[in-house]
Amino acid sequence: MTASYASFAQEAGGADTKDTTGTPEKTHFVAGILYHSGLNYYGRVDSLHSKGICPFLGVSLKNGLYLNTTFVFIRNSLQSQYAATLLEAGYSFINKKKNWTGTFSVSRFFYQGDIDLIQSAVKEAASASITHLNKVMNITLGINAKWSDKTDLGLQTGLDHIFRVPRVFGGDVLVIDPSFTVFAGTQNFTSTYYQQKKFLFLPVGQEQVTTDSRAFHILAYEASLPVIYGYRWFNLIFSPAWVSPQHLITVPGQPELSERGENLLYVTVTLKLTL
């Protein structure tokens, strides 16, 4: 979820230019666990306000290729159980001048049969992003595609500024990265209405008409403040965030089919080991 859930794998074990390790100079293994206080999908939430605990592991090669597996466990007032496994493979890079970085990834989602996550219609996804790094403001542009029974396309743009404080207690580093991101994309939905039937200009009844529509809208605004503490192979990432969903789909008379969303303040905490 977040952008929020756009990919647990990317949030957890995936390529992350905002941790303290950067592009690897050799092959390394990644393992850790992520806690998510408010699972959401661009600010869309379930009625139980589920939380997530996500162990992850992966491998990153020195050529920039990586592969990660994330296991999703959810907890709410009704249940606490395994929900899904996410596989992500991708490629990340940063140029020699360290002013451009980017990522391309593909993901596959495997859901528990009796689980109902807010994003569980999505089966596969692909995304790419490019970031221009500079001393004033980093600028990120990204595109993505998500496949369910239909295909949704998305765009995102973000701004952030990295504050790096080395040697807080010696051989460690502290990174603070205030960020703001706008998410946009297509929304597939079905509309049903009744149309008056006529015979020789006289009304004779009504017929139900169902149409499929797809619109491109801003989906959410999100502001976050990741704080990353790194010491050798250890990273602790504390990231409070605020997300505001936009253009929620509503179905008149059928609230169970309408999107449920709200302005949400949530926190992710990640413990990440790089060996």
pLDDT by residue (tens digit) across 170-224? 889 999 999 999 999 998 754 443 444 554 555 545 554 444 556 899 999 999 9
Q: What is the pLDDT of residues 26-70, one digit of tens each?
A: 899 999 999 999 999 899 888 888 999 999 999 999 999 999 999
Q: Where are the chain's structural domains?
A: 2-186+214-274
pLDDT at 14: 47
147: pLDDT strictly greater than 60: yes
Cβ atoms 265, 241 nearer than 8 A: yes
Cβ atoms 169, 139 nearer than 8 A: no
Q: Could you tell me which CATH number the domain at 2-186+214-274 has?
A: 2.40.160.40
pLDDT at 155: 97
pLDDT at 18: 53
Radius of gyration of the chain (CA): 21
pLDDT average, residue stretch 122-149: 94
107: pLDDT strictly greater than 80: yes
17: pLDDT strictly greater than 60: no
**Alpha carbon separation from 83 to 33, 75, 107, 133, 157 (Å, rounded):** 15, 10, 16, 36, 30
3-state DSSP assignment of residue 241: strand
